[in-house]
Amino acid sequence: EAQVTQNPRYLITVTGKKLTVTCSQNMNHEYMSWYRQDPGLGLRQIYYSMNVEVTDKGDVPEGYKVSRKEKRNFPLILESPSPNQTSLYFCASSPTGAGEQYFGPGTRLTVT
């Protein structure tokens, strides 16, 4: 089954404790991206990747890191999480950036 998977689905952590949210797709898509969703603000792009080893900042990259060592995986790293990073996070993939995005199930992160 074609899908985008994210783990964990729910995470409660404390300020400053490094965490990684994994994202994997099995559709051989070139383009992958991370979004955060906050009430009233819609989906905002954090980082995107056009291909392996190619990543670029989205609209809200501060406090996040990403890597794209393999085509299928695009982990999101929070080196020192803060409460303002409490949000719902979505990973998405697409054959091309302009094409239909396939979203993962979402990760709800709470930083206390």
Partner 1 sequence: ILNVEQSPQSLHVQEGDSTNFTCSFPSSNFYALHWYRWETAKSPEALFVMTLNGDEKKKGRISATLNTKEGYSYLYIKGSQPEDSATYLCAGFSGSARQLTFGSGTQLTVLP
Residues that bind partner 1 (CB under 8 A): 33, 35, 40-45, 48, 50, 56, 58-59, 90, 97-106
Smallest distance, Å, CB 15 to partner 1?
28
Read off the tokens for 27: 């559709």
- Cα Rg, the chain, nearest whole Å: 13
Whose Cβ is closer to partner 1: residue 69's or residue 100's?
A: 100
Residue 83 or residue 105: which is nearer to partner 1 going by CB?
Answer: 105
Minimum distance between the CB of residue 32 and partner 1, rounded to whole angstroms? Answer: 12
Which residues, other chains included, contact 106 with Cβ-Cβ below 8 Å and sequence gap of 6+? 6, 9, 37, 88, 89, 90
Which lies closer to partner 1 via its Cβ, residue 33 or residue 87? 33
Instruction: Give min distance, CB of 110 to partner 1, in A.
Output: 17
Q: How far is the CB of 18 from partner 1 (least distance, A)?
A: 26
User: What is the SS3 assignment for 48?
Assistant: strand
Q: Is 110 exposed, middle or buried (0-12, 13-18, 19+ CB in 10 A)?
A: middle
